[in-house]
Structure formats: C-alpha cells, structure tokens
Amino acid sequence: PDDPPEATAAQLGAQTSKLFVGNLPTDIQQEAIRMVFEHYGSVTNVHIMQGRSRSGQACAFVEYASSSEAETAILTLHEKYEIRPGEGNILVKYASSTGGPRSRPY
C-alpha cells in the first residue's frame, strides 16, 4: 500500500528546491543565471520564461538538487544581488505551486 506521508514529503522536497527568480534583464542567458546560482549548490534546471512580465523584466525558475541549497540561495541573493549592475536587485523566492494569479479564474 502507498504511504501518503512519504509521498507528501517527497513532493514537498521537490517543490521547495525550485525557485522563482524575478527582475532579470530581458536578454539574460541561462548560462549567466546558472553561473550565479551554482555558487550555492547543484543546479539541476534553469528555465527562463519567454516574454516580458508586466514590469518589463524577465523571470526564470532555478531548480536545485536539495531544498537546503535553495534556501541558501534565497537567503544570500534575494534583493541583495544585481546580475547586471544598474538593473536592480533580483528577487529570489520559492516557486509557487499554485501557478500565481493568472491561474485563478476571475
């Protein structure tokens, strides 16, 4: 039989190792993001969202091998690091599993 608590823990671990990164330059490359985030752990995936956000900036998702690496990146980088000087600090937070406001019917 399935053991729901273990499945839930595994799913939670997967969710908490995925980060949302905002306020990126629109011409940012995956390699540039990976270079910054690999200082804090093993990056397993980088996905840049196509198109601009309402703010005119790009955003991306960065996934780590473990949730502790993701937490270190958030604590170190969120609103404290500029990928490109003069472009403003990046936003780094846990990726939402709900999909954000666009997924909600209004």
Give the 3-state secondary structure of 7-37: HHHHHHHHHHCEEEEEEECCCCCHHHHHHHH
pTM: 0.76
pLDDT digits (tens, 9 = 90+) for 36-89: 999 999 999 999 997 766 777 899 999 999 999 999 999 999 999 999 999 899
Residue 29's pLDDT band, with cuts at 50, 70 and 90, is very high
Sign of the alpha-carbon dihedral angle for 100, 9, 36, 62: negative
Domains and CATH numbers, the chain: 17-44+61-94 (3.30.70.330)
